[in-house]
Amino acid sequence: MKKGIVCAFLLVLAAACGSDPKEDAQTSSVGAPSSSASAGGSGGGIGADQVEIVSGVPDRGRDPAVIAIDVAGEGLCSGTLIASQIVLTARHCVSRTTEEISCPPTGPQITQNRVPSTLGILVGDDITTAKLVAKGRTLVVPAGDALCDADIALIVLDRPVVGVAPLGFRRSAVKAGEHVRAVGYGMTGPNSGAGVKLLREHVLVQNVSATELMVGEATCQGDSGGPALDESTSEVIGVVSRGGPSCVGKNVHNIYTRVDAFASLVEDAFHHVSQPDPAPVDAGTGSAKSGGKSKPTSDVGNTCAKAADCATGLCVQPAASGATSGHPPSYCSRHCGTGDRCPDGFHCEKATDQSHVCVRHD
Report pLDDT digits (tens) over 289-306.
334 344 556 789 999 998
Q: What is the pLDDT of residue 191?
A: 55
Do 46 and 87 fall within a single domain?
no
Indicate whether 255 and 200 sit together in one domain: yes
**pLDDT value at position 11?**
52
Indicate whether 316 and 196 sit together in one domain.
Answer: no
Q: Which residue has the higher pLDDT, 277 or 312?
A: 312
Report whether 289 contacts 332 (CB < 8 A).
no
Cβ atoms of residues 224 and 187 within 8 Å: no
Whether 185 and 222 have beta carbons less than 8 Å apart is answered as: yes
Label residue 188 by pLDDT band (50, 70, 90).
low
Residues 311 and 329 in one domain: yes
Same domain membership, residue 224 and residue 173: yes
The yes-or-no verdict on residue 126 having pLDDT over 70 is: yes
Whole-number Cα distances in Å, 249 to 48, 190, 307:
19, 11, 17
304 lies in a domain?
yes
Report yes or no on 109 lying in a domain: yes
Quote the percentage of the chain above a pLDDT of 70: 70
Query: Across 20-24, 148-152, 272-276, 311-315, which has the greatest mean pLDDT?
Result: 148-152
114 and 206 share a domain? yes
Domain of residue 87 covers 57-270
Residues 248 and 262 in one domain: yes
Tens digit of pLDDT for each residue in 14-59? 333 332 322 333 333 223 222 222 222 233 466 766 555 456 788 8
Residue 308 carries which DSSP code?
G
Global confidence as pTM: 0.78
Residue type, 264: S
Query: What Å distances lie between residue 318 and 34, 35, 109, CA to CA?
Result: 11, 12, 51
Asked whether residue 204 is assigned to any structural domain, the reply reads: yes
Check residue 264 and report its DSSP letter.
Answer: H
Helix boundaries (H) for the chain: 91-94, 263-270
Compute, in degrees rounded to 10, the torsion defined by CA atoms 175, 180, 184, 188: 100
User: Does residue 277 sit within a domain?
Assistant: no
- Examine the pLDDT at 151 and tell me if it is beyond 50: yes
Task: Tell me if 183 is assigned to some domain.
Answer: yes
Task: For residue 11, tell me if it sits in a domain.
Answer: no
Question: Are 168 and 198 members of one domain?
Answer: yes
Give whichever of 164-168, 217-221, 291-295 has the largest mean pLDDT: 164-168
Cα(181)–Cα(157) distance, integer angstroms: 25
Q: What's the whole-number mean pLDDT along residues 276-280?
A: 47
Last residue of a domain, one of 253, 270, 287: 270
Supply the CATH number for residue 143's domain. 2.40.10.120
Give the chain's domain count: 2
Among 160-174, 200-214, 262-276, name the one with the lowest average pLDDT: 262-276
Based on the fold, state whether residues 168 and 228 are members of the same structural domain.
Answer: yes
45 and 147 together in one domain: no
Q: Are residues 258 and 222 in the same domain?
A: yes
Evaluate whether 41 touches 280 at the Cβ level (below 8 Å).
Answer: no
Clarify whether residues 41 and 103 are in a common domain: no
pLDDT value at 282 more than 70: no
What confidence score (pLDDT) does residue 35 get? 27
Instruction: Provide mean pLDDT across the span 250-267.
Output: 89
